[in-house]
Amino acid sequence: MPCLLLLLAIVAPRICLILLWLFTDFVSRAYDTLLIPLLGLVFLPFTTIAYALAMNQRGEVSGIYLILCIVAVLSDLGAIGGSSRGRG
pLDDT tens string 3-40: 787 788 888 899 999 999 999 999 999 999 999 999 99
pLDDT of residue 55: 96
pLDDT tens string 62-87: 999 999 999 999 999 987 776 555 56
Contact 68, 54 (CB under 8 A): yes
Is 0.75 topped by the overall pTM? yes
Cβ neighbours of residue 16 closer than 8 Å, sequence gap 6 or more = 5, 8, 9, 45, 49
pLDDT tier for residue 1 given thresholds of 50, 70 and 90: low
- pLDDT for residue 2 is more than 80: no
- What sign for the dihedral angle of Cα 48, 52, 55, 61? negative
